[in-house]
Amino acid sequence: MAEHPKALDDFVAELNALYILAGCTLPYLRRHSQDVLIESTTSEILAGHRARVPKLPWVAAFVTACRAAVGEAGLDPDDLGMGTVQDWAVRRAEAERACGEVTPPRRTPTGMYTADPKTSAEGAPKFLRRYGTTGLRLFHAAASGAAVGEAAYQLAALLLCYGRDTEGNAYLRRAGEAGHRDAVDLCSHLAGSRAVRGVAHRIARAYQEDGDLDAALVFFEAAASRGGNAEACFRIGLIHAERGAAREAVTWFRRAARLGHGEAFRRYAAFAGKASATMCAARVSRA
| 42, 5 contact by CB (below 8 A) | no
Tens digits of per-residue pLDDT, 66-100? 998 888 888 888 888 888 888 888 889 888 888 88
Which residues does 10 contact at the CB level (< 8 Å), separation at least 6?
A: 95
Q: What is the distance between the alpha carbons of residues 43 and 61, in angstroms, rounded to a whole number?
A: 14
pLDDT surpasses 90 at 184: no
| 119, 145 contact by CB (below 8 A) | no
pLDDT surpasses 90 at 221: yes
| 8, 95 contact by CB (below 8 A) | yes
Tens digits of per-residue pLDDT, 222-248? 999 877 789 999 999 999 999 988 888
pLDDT surpasses 70 at 102: no
- Give residue 101's pLDDT band: very low, low, confident or very high (50, 70, 90): low
Tens digits of per-residue pLDDT, 123-171? 788 888 889 999 999 998 998 877 889 999 999 999 988 888 888 888 8
Each domain of the chain, given as residue ranges in start order, spans: 6-98
Least confident among 26-35, 95-104, 253-262: 95-104
Q: What is the distance between the alpha carbons of residues 115 and 122, in angstroms, rounded to a whole number?
A: 10
| 172, 187 contact by CB (below 8 A) | yes
Question: Taking the model in full, what pTM does it have?
Answer: 0.57
Q: What is the distance between the alpha carbons of residues 23 and 63, in angstroms, rounded to a whole number?
A: 13
- Give residue 193's pLDDT band: very low, low, confident or very high (50, 70, 90): low
Which residues does 280 contact at the CB level (< 8 Å), separation at least 6?
A: none
- Give residue 207's pLDDT band: very low, low, confident or very high (50, 70, 90): very high
